[in-house]
Structure 1
Amino acid sequence: MTPQSRVFELRSRLARRLGLLSASGLVLLAATLLAMLVVVFHAMAQSWAAVLRGDPTHAGAWSLLGVSMALCAVRLAGVVLHTSPGPGGIRLPRQAAESFYQVIDDVAQRFGVAPVRNVWISSDMNALVLQRPAWGWIGPIRTHLLIGLPLAHSVSPAQLDAVLAHEFAHLARQRSGMGAQGAHLRAWWARVLDEAFENFPWAADWLERQANPFYRDMLRLARVEEFEADACAAQVVGASLLGETLVEIGLKARFLEQDYWPRVMAHSTQFPSPSIRPYREMGLGVAAGFLRRESVVEDLSHYDAGGGSLPLHPTLHERLRALGAPLRAAASDETSAAVAYFAPLLSTLSWAFDRAWWEETREDWQQCYLDAQDDD
Structure 2
Amino acid sequence: MNTQQKLNTQQEFDTRQQPGMRCRAEPGHGPGMHHDSRLVRRLELDSHAAPDAFRRRVLLVSALAHAAILVPLVSALLLAALAVRFALAAHIAAAAAGFALLALLPMAAALLVLRTLSGRLPVPAGRPLTRDEAPALFDMLDRVRARLDAPRIDHVLVDDRYNAAIAQRPRFGFLGPFGVLFGQTNYLTLGLPYMLGVPTKEMTATVAHEVGHLCGDHGKSGAWIGRQRLLFDMLHQHVSGHAAGSLCHRAAAGVLDRLMPCYHAYTFVLSRQNEYEADRIASSLAGSVANAQGLVRDTLQARWIADQFWPTLLRQADHAAQPPFMPFAAMKTAFGAGYAQWAQPQALAAALAVRSDVHDTHPCLRERVQAIGERPALPRPVERCAADVLLPAGTLRVLVREFDEAWWARAARSWQARHREAGRERSRLAELDAQPLAALSPADLHELALLRVGLVAPAAAKDVLACLLARPGGPFPRAAFHFGCILLAEDDDQGLFQLEAAVAHDRTLADGALHAGCAFLERSKGARAARLWRDSLLPRAA
Give the TM-score range, shorter chain. Answer: 0.7 to 0.9
Counterpart of 1:86 in structure 2 is 123
Unpaired runs of at least 5, structure 1: none
Counterpart of 1:150 in structure 2 is 193
Counterpart of 1:217 in structure 2 is 266
- TM-superposition CA deviations, 1:33-90 (whole Å, max 9, x none): 64686599789x78xx99xx6x8xx97x899878887776665444333321112111
402, 417, 426: which one pairs with 1:352? 402
Counterpart of 1:194 in structure 2 is 237
Q: Is the 8 A contact 1:156 1:335 kept in 2?
A: yes
Paired residue secondary structure (1:281)? helix
- TM-superposition CA deviations, 1:261-289 (whole Å, max 9, x none): 22223234445665543223222222221
Q: Is the 8 A contact 1:104 1:115 kept in 2?
A: no
TM normalised by structure 1 equals 0.81
TM normalised by structure 2 equals 0.58
Unpaired runs of at least 5, structure 2: 1-45, 177-181, 245-249, 428-542
Counterpart of 1:337 in structure 2 is 386
Shift of 1:251: 1.1
Q: Sequence identity, in percent?
A: 23
Query: For 1:196 and 1:240, how far apart are their aligned partners in 2?
Result: 48
Paired residue secondary structure (1:131)? strand
Query: For 1:315 and 1:294, how far apart are their aligned partners in 2?
Result: 18
How large is the Cα RMSD of the aligned pairs?
Answer: 3.8
Shift of 1:300: 0.6
Within 5 A, what are the aligned runs for 1:132-211?
132-135=169-172, 137=174, 138=176, 139-174=182-217, 180-200=223-243, 207-211=256-260
Shift of 1:212: 0.5
Change (3 A) 1:174 1:183: farther
312, 317, 320: which one pairs with 1:263? 312
Change (3 A) 1:22 1:92: farther
Say if 2:346 is the partner of 1:303. Answer: no
Query: For 1:120 and 1:95, how far apart are their aligned partners in 2?
Result: 14
User: How many residues end up aligned between the 2 structures?
Assistant: 366
Paired residue secondary structure (1:280)? helix
Within 5 A, what are the aligned runs for 1:1-376?
7-10=50-53, 12-28=55-71, 30-31=73-74, 34=77, 38=81, 75-135=112-172, 137=174, 138=176, 139-174=182-217, 180-200=223-243, 207-270=256-319, 274=323, 276-290=325-339, 292=340, 296-304=344-352, 311-342=360-391, 343-361=393-411, 364-365=414-415, 368-369=418-419, 371-375=421-425, 376=427
Query: For 1:273 and 1:64, how far apart are their aligned partners in 2?
Result: 66
Higher mean Cα deviation, 357-366 or 335-344? 357-366
Query: For 2:103 and 2:133, how far apart are their aligned partners in 1?
Result: 56
Query: For 1:149 and 1:347, how far apart are their aligned partners in 2?
Result: 11
Q: Is the 8 A contact 1:132 1:142 kept in 2?
A: yes
Higher mean Cα deviation, 94-103 or 76-85? 76-85
Shift of 1:366: 5.5
Shift of 1:322: 1.4
Change (3 A) 1:349 1:28: farther
Q: Is the 8 A contact 2:343 2:378 kept in 1?
A: no
Residue type at the aligned position of 1:357: W
Q: Which has the larger radius of gyration?
A: 2
Query: For 2:324 and 2:82, how far apart are their aligned partners in 1?
Result: 62
Query: For 1:257 and 1:357, how far apart are their aligned partners in 2?
Result: 15
Higher mean Cα deviation, 11-20 or 278-287? 11-20
Change (3 A) 1:347 1:63: farther
Higher mean Cα deviation, 95-104 or 279-288? 279-288
Query: For 2:263 and 2:274, how far apart are their aligned partners in 1?
Result: 16
Higher mean Cα deviation, 12-21 or 224-233? 12-21
Q: Is the 8 A contact 1:122 1:148 kept in 2?
A: yes
- TM-superposition CA deviations, 1:231-253 (whole Å, max 9, x none): 22222222221111100111110
Paired residue secondary structure (2:300)? helix
Query: For 1:364 and 1:33, how far apart are their aligned partners in 2?
Result: 53
- TM-superposition CA deviations, 1:6-48 (whole Å, max 9, x none): 55414532442244134324423643664686599789x78xx
